[in-house]
Structure 1
Amino acid sequence: MKKVAALALSTCIAASAWAQKDGKKNIDKLCGCFDVTFKYAETFSPNKDYQFHDREKITNVTELALPIVQTDKRIVIQHLLVIDDSTIVKHWREDWTYENPVIWIFKGDGVWEKTTVPATNVKGKWTQTVWEVSDAPRYQGASVWQEVNGHTIWENTTNAPLPRREYTQRTDYNILNRTNRLVLLPNGYNHVQDNIKISRTAAGDSIRAEEKGLNSYVRLEDAKCQPATNYWKNYAPFWVKVEAVWEKYMNDHTTVKLVESLGKGKSLNNQLFKLSDEWKNGTLKSNVDELIFSTILEHLQ
């Protein structure tokens, strides 16, 4: 009996080690220089009077997915848009952590709540945490990397705030329930989305529409993204400070309520970008850490 138990234990340990090592290998393939195409189409609504929104397609986007932290159990990838050789835009960030028990759940209207799940719930799983351009929280989910019909995939369903392409155009829903499926390909990967647009009120949830998304990442030669690499070398110290403020706040709190825009063009994104340029140019008149903290705090309730 002891031999059987020992064998079972060694099998579990081996399986966990394989999930960790193999998962990291897969996540590493999400890094690099890519030509990106974004496609979205609403497909269904339970409301017969619903007016479907136009399909959206954006092509020829050059994006660097730069690994800025790489350990056995944590990979951090910073995305940077290459507009041209002199214009780079800091984009979203994704953190991958192995067997992470802390999950932030989006509740709607700028509110996230922290929860701790049992270790068994994340055994062998990699958690993807996606952060806004401002390094504010966006969404988080855990799953295993697996082989399905000859494809290597990672899939999770979670609630998220509206993406920029939506919140700048409409206010008829406040939660995007998104199934994210990452499918590795020989020359890059696909980010396939099955999204449900939900209006959440005190009376309950109602579905506005369902949507299909396909973001295709086709690998380019690294030289195409060299301007983004140069940009990050210059600006990384500033954004590391921003990330540290968010990390401390979220470690110290169980709820985050974010107000992205305070009106009159005073958005968190714009304020932080302005600060980053002033920091880079050496024109800040106050301590940068204090300015970052006060700027972020102003948008939190």
Structure 2
Amino acid sequence: MKIFNLLFALTVFLTVNLHAQDKLEQDRKAIKSLAGFYKVTFNYGEVTSPNPGYQFSKPYRSHGNEWAEIIVDEPKRIVIQHLLAINDSTVIKHWRQDWTYEDPEIMLYTQDNAWTKKTLTPTEVKGKWTQKIYQVDDSPRYQGYGTWSHVGGHDAWSSETDSPLPRRESTVRKDYNVLNRGSRITITTDGWMFEQDNKKVLRTPQGDQLVAVEKGYEEFTKTDPKKFEYAQKWWNTQKNYWADVREVWADLAKTSSADFKVQTKVNDKLLYETLFSLGDQSIKDNWTSAQNKEKVKAALQPYLGK
């Protein structure tokens, strides 16, 4: 009887472990499918507000060609860099998404370009992936965690977390200071959909006040890779510099206190302008990795902790 119980327990253990490994590989496959060459359409519109006199903002619509490239592929960490191809001679290093599996460390946005570190419990992150979104200058934007589902051949992931105002409203809106993002990613036959149920919140010492709710749809549809030939050439010259930038940011976040604050503009110069200029200079002067890190770290100091 003891041998039978031992064999039964071993069988159950192996079955559960194999299922977990299979699920992990399904998750990884779904995440890696976010990479590719896409035509992207952006659609956002406010749908409701608790204030009867609220003046709804004009719906936002835009589109572009975006290349999402996997730059790190590890068993429990996948990093995807996005780049916008404007035409045959212009490319913009866009946002970045880092995916980490069962990651207990997370940075939660509070307000006023500040984040606070939090350590999650093993139970909270069991079987879950954290999506960490970074700005064009590789500074933090928002982070949220959730479970990938693979039901009926449909791959989807969702989470809810706070973030700064979207760039489309950060310079024109003063009536709210936190965007509570309800995000859902769904893999489609020809790309993927990024749906959002967002709450625009005014956060004060007295608490949170809901200003409005918006719906968002970003549709990534596969397109001709030939549109991105210039973007690929440009990134090939810049990728080593930006790898150094990411490493400097990671070190700063690791060694900082529980709170992490970033200024977007110092002396009338935006942070991304500073780092992009350094990138061009690095290529021109053929800086080493050590030189890149030294100059980036010095350049970031005025933007931190004020």
Is the TM value for this pair above 0.5?
Answer: yes
**CA shift at 1:289, angstroms?**
2.4
- Partner residue of 1:291 out of 274, 282, 295: 295
SS state at 1:292 partner: helix
2:199 to 184, 196, 199: 196
User: What pairs with 1:19-98 in structure 2 (closer than 5 Å)?
Assistant: 19-59=23-63, 61-98=64-101
CA distance in 1: counterparts of 2:9 and 2:176, whole angstroms: 52
For residues 160-239 of structure 1, the aligned pairs below 5 Å read: 160-239=163-242
Verify: 1:105 aligned to 2:108, yes or no.
yes
Matched letter for residue 92 of structure 1: W
Say if 1:109 and 1:12 are closer, same or farther in 2 by CA, change over 3 A: farther
Q: State the distance in 2 between where 1:12 and 1:113 align.
A: 35
Q: 2-side partners of 1:75 and 1:171: how far apart?
A: 35
Task: State the AA in 2 paired with 1:170.
Answer: R
Q: Is the counterpart of residue 130 in structure 1 residue 127 in structure 2? A: no
Seen in structure 2, the aligned counterparts of structure 1 residues 148 and 49 have a Cα distance that, compared at 3 Å, is farther
CA deviation string 1:78-123 (max 9, x = no partner): 0000011111110001111111111111111111111111112211
What is the CA deviation profile of residues 179-205 of structure 1, one whole-angstrom value per residue up to 9, with x for unaligned ones? Answer: 110111110010000000011011110
What code does the residue aligned with 2:26 have? Answer: D
Distance 1:117 1:11, change over 3 A: farther
Distance 1:16 1:120, change over 3 A: farther
Match of 1:152 among 150, 155, 164: 155
Is 15-24 or 231-240 further displaced after alignment?
Answer: 15-24
What is the RMSD computed on CA atoms of the aligned residues?
A: 1.8
- Unaligned stretches of 5+ in structure 1? none
Give, in whole Å, the separation in 1 of the partners of 2:108 and 2:10.
37
| Aligned partner of residue 201 in structure 2, secondary structure | strand
Q: Equivalent residue of 1:89, what SS?
A: strand
2:97 and 2:132 in contact (8 A); partners too: yes
Alignment CA distance shift 1:291-1:237 (3 Å): same
Residue deviations 1:140-190 (CA, integer Å, cap 9, x gap): 111121135653211111111111111021121111100110111110010
Q: Distance in 1 between matches of 2:121 and 2:194?
A: 28
Point out the more displaced range, 4-13 or 62-71: 4-13
Greater mean alpha carbon deviation, residues 72-81 or residues 10-19: 10-19
Identity percentage of aligned residues = 38
**Deviation (angstroms), 1:226:** 1.9
Q: Counterpart of 1:188 in structure 2: which amino acid? A: G
TM-score where L is the length of structure 1: 0.94
User: Which range moves more in the overlay, 97-106 or 26-35?
Assistant: 97-106
Aligned length: 298
Query: What's 1:252 paired with?
Result: 255
8 Å Cα contact 1:70-1:76 kept in structure 2: yes
TM-aligned CA distance change 1:145 to 1:49, over 3 Å: same
Q: TM-score, normalised by structure 2?
A: 0.93
CA distance in 2, matches of 1:8, 1:49: 60
State the Cα distance separating 1:222 from its structure 2 match: 1.9
